[in-house]
């Protein structure tokens, strides 16, 4: 059964709409923890548009479950991570203009920069994951880097417009999960996963953890955060 990591960025997005104190992402993370989430994900963006430095410090102190810090390889952010020592870091590409993380890392192109960054993080004892497309070359380059975890970007699957293309994307995720597992990598996935499209991804053989944010926080507006997390856990852990 895959684990569930809840991304709480959008709690901070709501706070930043007024630049005040409510809602507090740390309080939200503790509710997710109580509801049975296995980890908390927060993206410290270079522009601090939602999660800020104080949030990640407080999350580090408050959480009993794993804290997965999502971030770019920007040297300033890497320095924050090295001081903070979260349980895990997930490296993602980051563009200022984007609304959300639009694609996976190009591990082949960025190999040397990623290598230097991963060495710094690994020296601090932080587990490292790379957010990549479900693609053979990206998987192989991740393996070459010595990074033990991949997170597959599920955006193409989630945004597929027809049942046929969705099925094709699912097959691709399944094939690449099998390939990465064969190479000894741990496989996670996330992006665009909703209550209606998560089960097939949760059923992929070897899937270790799904990281889900927007759909859970959106549902929380209607049913409360605890209930929203529990409903997603029921879907993910419903496999036979």
What is the contact surface with ligand PXP in residues (CB under 6 A)? 7, 9, 43, 70, 90, 92, 100-101, 131, 151, 190-193, 211-215
- What is the rounded CA–CA span in Å between residue 225 and residue 35? 8
Q: Cβ 190 to ligand PXP, closest distance in Å?
A: 3
Cβ proximity to ligand PXP: between 30 and 158 the closer is 158
Catalytic site includes residue 102: no
Radius of gyration of the chain (CA): 17
Q: Cβ 234 to ligand PXP, closest distance in Å?
A: 17
Per annotation, catalytic residue among 10, 50, 70, 153:
70
- What is the rounded CA–CA span in Å between residue 114 and residue 107? 7
Catalytic site includes residue 70: yes
Give me 204's structure tokens. 């992929």
Element (H, E) at 32: helix 25-35
Catalytic site includes residue 10: no
Per annotation, catalytic residue among 10, 50, 153, 191:
191
Residue among 34, 41, 121, 33 at smallest CA distance from 74: 121
- What is the rounded CA–CA span in Å between residue 88 and residue 48? 19
Q: Cβ 137 to ligand PXP, closest distance in Å?
A: 19
Cβ proximity to ligand PXP: between 222 and 240 the closer is 222
| Catalytic residue list | 43, 70, 191
């Amino acid at each position: 059964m895959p684990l569930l990591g809840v991304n709480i960025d959008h709690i901070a997005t709501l706070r930043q709409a007024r630049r005040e104190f409510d809602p507090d992402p740390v309080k939200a993370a503790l509710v997710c923890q109580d509801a049975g989430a296995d980890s908390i994900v927060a993206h410290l963006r270079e522009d601090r548009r939602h999660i800020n430095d104080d949030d990640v410090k407080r999350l580090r102190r408050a959480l009993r479950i794993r804290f997965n810090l999502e971030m770019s390889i920007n040297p300033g952010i890497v320095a924050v991570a090295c001081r903070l020592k979260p349980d895990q870091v997930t490296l993602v590409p980051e563009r200022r203009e984007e609304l959300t993380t639009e694609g996976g890392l190009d591990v082949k192109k960025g190999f040397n920069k990623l290598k230097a960054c991963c060495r710094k993080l690994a020296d601090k004892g932080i587990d490292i994951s790379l957010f990549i497309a479900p693609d053979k070359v990206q998987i192989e380059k991740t393996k070459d880097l010595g990074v033990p975890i991949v997170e597959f970007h599920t955006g193409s699957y989630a945004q597929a417009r027809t049942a046929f293309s969705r099925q094709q994307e699912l097959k691709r995720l399944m094939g690449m999960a099998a390939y990465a597992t064969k190479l000894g990598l741990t496989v996670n996935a996330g992006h665009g996963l909703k209550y209606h499209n998560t089960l097939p991804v949760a059923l992929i053989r070897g899937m270790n953890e799904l990281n889900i944010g927007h759909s859970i926080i959106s549902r929380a507006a209607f049913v409360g955060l605890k209930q929203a997390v529990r409903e997603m856990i029921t879907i993910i852990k419903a496999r036979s």
